[in-house]
Structure 1
Amino acid sequence: MFALSVTSCYVLQQGVYAYQERGDLEKLARVLFVLLCHCTCVAKQLVFHAQAARVDRIIAGLHQPLFDPATAGAGASSAAAAAARALLRATSRGAARLLRAYYGCAVATCVLWTIFPVVYKLRGFRIEFPFWTFLDYNQPVMFVIVLLHSFYATNLVAVGNTTMDAFIATVMYQCKTQLRILRMNFETLPERARALTKESVNANYEEILTKLLFECIQHFQKIADTMALLEQVFGLAVLVQFTVGGWILCMAAYKIVSVNVLSFEFASTTLFIVCILTELFLYCYYGNEVTVESDRMVEAVYAMEWLHAPLRFKRSLVLVMERAKRPLRPAAGHLIPLSLDTFVTILKSSYSFYAVLRQTK
């Protein structure tokens, strides 16, 4: 709650500054791309606070037996089970690397934003922070206080945004991996049933086959429920992110063309653009991956050895394939699909906004 309060206060300061400088496009561009980014952070923080119970349900759902690395690939051969566990370990390592790289880039941006005012101050230039404050920071002591306030607030936003984005992306990454494991389970379903039948004296092949199919259906439904809950909880916040994402990139590009290429400000703005591109790309890439893996489910069902299966089982497969024809398609606010096409569209839109601004300058 403290982080939300500090972030909201900083956004308010930036909003006042933007209103005061509304007639100066250069100053307005300088504050708007950061202000819009901070607004998306506040929106996501509000969701985490208001939907805390449902967020806990998402996290608890990832520890369900169907998603548990220890039970993934149950009833499969040791090689298939080992492959499933390897996929889950790779997902965990990939998510950790993603968070570290994304977080590091964001913090580096904040550090550079703190360095270049100090350098300019030491050179005797007049410094104007892009937010409103009642303090006269021309004095050294006040300058340090305002600088530390800016550094702390921007770092809170950096940590908050990267952590929340990485969390949402990791859940989609996990669902993508679970869909891949499910495809493996579908493809090897008859083989697993025969292996279990041989292990038990009184086992019935058709009953075991039907049981394994039901487990696969439950697994798919669990993945679908997780994605649906994720979309319900964060759909509106992600929609806000995608709505203003083009404007953030546009304003950052407008700002970066007016600064020295060899300056700290250019380096920090470049890193900021990289962070925003990464943020948008994470949602689009992992949302696209979930859709692609879900699309392949029909092929996985058809690829199993169903020719010699019992007639009742074949009829059940028809129903499963009909359901699999409707793939999971994550969307922001049920409106904007999370796909690579959407990412390209945002880039095109941001360039169009930038071109209009340059023409009206």
Structure 2
Amino acid sequence: MESHKDRTESMHLILRVMQLFGLWPWSLREGEQWTISGFVKRNYRFLLHLPITFTFIGLMWLEAFISSNLEQAGQVLYMSITEMALVVKILSIWHHRSEAWQLMQELKHGPDYQLRGKEELDFWRREQRYFKWFFYIYILISLGVVYSACAGVLFLKEYELPFAYYVPFEWRNEKGYWFAYGYDMAGMTLTCISNITLDTLGCYFLFHISLLYRLLGLRLRALNNIKDEACFGRELRCIFRLHQSMRRLTVICQKIVSPYILSQIILSALIICFSGYRLQHVGIRDNPGQFVAMLQFLSVMILQIYLPCYYGNEITVHAHQLTNEVYHTNWLQCGVPIRKLLNAYMEHLKRPVTIRAGNFFAVGLPIFVKTINNAYSFFALLLNVSK
């Protein structure tokens, strides 16, 4: 009934896009790296990101450093800080590319996580479909930020770039402007797609593991329908083995997503702060395209912090709910050995399951609220300093 594609259905197109943009390995199978095509696929990421992504981000920071005042620096800092978080994400996924690829393969093909019956399959497909379409909309909104800003500056009387960066030639003329504008648009398109697809990948790993904990809860609940004690014991031991595998996957997932979530949360307060400051200085009448783009950008940035916090929180919540599922099984009808097993399992469940960002804090909704509070505090301080 189940095909392996059903398990990771929502990521098929995203992973293909990430391969095209040098963010996901084409293959890590033995022997392929010694072929010409394997060499090209392995080094394609450097050919794409060194001249565009990293150079473009460096020029953004150079523009911020040579700015003459805070207002001019604020026009570029909100985006350059965002791009710094992207640098951490790219370097992190390149460093953990083998672990990430192997984790995705295990989630897709691992026999321990095979779905049973129509109820589990329908549940899994429904949740995967919701995740897929939600992130497709998120990606389109994020790209809309870039292209609304790029379109908005074309209606201005003076030459202006959609996203400020240091241009090493005179660009405020008809010929030079289109070179600077084209590189700006290409750089922002590449960095935007890289950013949102890496966000999607990190959130998907968290989402998939939270689904496995929910699946474990469904199987514990299904123990109520088993009357034979021997069958009950066999199924319970299968659940124990599955839970142990899920604990291992949670540790691997944390290792992969922890650097990017840590950088995102640390820098997000500054990004939101400078975005709000920039929004104050962009008039809706003078430059409606830039104003709408900034408003979209601020919304996307808040969502970008919220999503990993939400999915990290889902893992903690659904892992904690397993205790209730065990308690509601027919344990009163079981013999003493099974009761002892259930009691030992409930003791094991007392260990909290959390995703930690760099071993500093647990990823969840409380850290999201704290980040927003910090952003507001920085914003108020920046307004006072700029007066």
**Same structural fold, with TM-score higher than 0.5 when normalized by the shorter chain:** yes
Instruction: Tell me if 1:117 matches 2:147.
Output: no
Structure 2 counterpart of 1:220, from 216, 231, 243: 243
Within a 5 Å distance, the mapping from 1:1-361 to structure 2 comes to: 1=45, 2-5=47-50, 6-21=52-67, 23-63=68-108, 64-68=110-114, 72-73=115-116, 81-120=117-156, 123=157, 125-127=158-160, 130-189=164-223, 191-192=225-226, 194=227, 205-206=229-230, 208-262=231-285, 263-361=288-386
Letter in 1 for 2:144: A
1:16-43 Cα offsets, whole Å, 9 max, x none, are: 111101x411111111110111111111
1:95–1:166 CA contact under 8 A, matched in 2:
no
1:106–1:275 CA contact under 8 A, matched in 2:
yes
Comparing 46-55 with 90-99, greater Cα deviation is found at: 90-99
Matched residues in 2 for 1:181 and 1:331: separation? 23
Matched residues in 2 for 1:318 and 1:215: separation? 16
3-state DSSP of counterpart to 1:188 = helix
Matched residues in 2 for 1:220 and 1:4: separation? 39
1:283-323 Cα offsets, whole Å, 9 max, x none, are: 11111111111111100011100111121111111111011
Give the alignment's TM-score, normalised by structure 1.
0.89
1:95-123 Cα offsets, whole Å, 9 max, x none, are: 21122111101111110121122211xx2
1:4–1:42 CA contact under 8 A, matched in 2:
no
Matched residues in 1 for 2:359 and 2:322: separation? 23
- C-alpha displacement at 1:126, in angstroms? 4.4
Matched residues in 1 for 2:252 and 2:279: separation? 39
Matched residues in 1 for 2:147 and 2:268: separation? 23
1:336-356 Cα offsets, whole Å, 9 max, x none, are: 221111111111100000000
Matched residues in 2 for 1:26 and 1:38: separation? 19
- C-alpha displacement at 1:66, in angstroms? 2.8
Matched residues in 1 for 2:180 and 2:358: separation? 38
- C-alpha displacement at 1:151, in angstroms? 0.8
Give the 3 Å change call, closer, same or farther, for CA 284–155 of structure 1 in structure 2: same
Letter in 2 for 1:17: E
Letter in 1 for 2:201: F
- C-alpha displacement at 1:49, in angstroms? 1.2
Letter in 2 for 1:333: G
Letter in 2 for 1:132: Y
- C-alpha displacement at 1:335, in angstroms? 1.3
1:67-106 Cα offsets, whole Å, 9 max, x none, are: 23xxx24xxxxxxx32211221022112211221111011
Instruction: Identify the residue that residue 36 of structure 2 maps to in structure 1.
Output: none
Matched residues in 1 for 2:165 and 2:304: separation? 24
3-state DSSP of counterpart to 1:136 = coil
Give the 3 Å change call, closer, same or farther, for CA 327–86 of structure 1 in structure 2: farther
Letter in 2 for 1:297: L
Unaligned runs of 5+ in 1: 74-80, 198-204
Instruction: Identify the residue that residue 3 of structure 2 maps to in structure 1.
Output: none
Matched residues in 1 for 2:321 and 2:82: separation? 36
1:190–1:209 CA contact under 8 A, matched in 2:
no
2:269–2:375 CA contact under 8 A, matched in 1:
yes
Matched residues in 1 for 2:118 and 2:274: separation? 49
3-state DSSP of counterpart to 1:307 = helix
- The number of residues matched between the two structures is 336
Matched residues in 2 for 1:288 and 1:3: separation? 35
2:233–2:338 CA contact under 8 A, matched in 1:
yes
Matched residues in 1 for 2:166 and 2:76: separation? 11
Letter in 2 for 1:55: A
Matched residues in 1 for 2:48 and 2:328: separation? 51
Identity %: 18
3-state DSSP of counterpart to 1:62 = helix
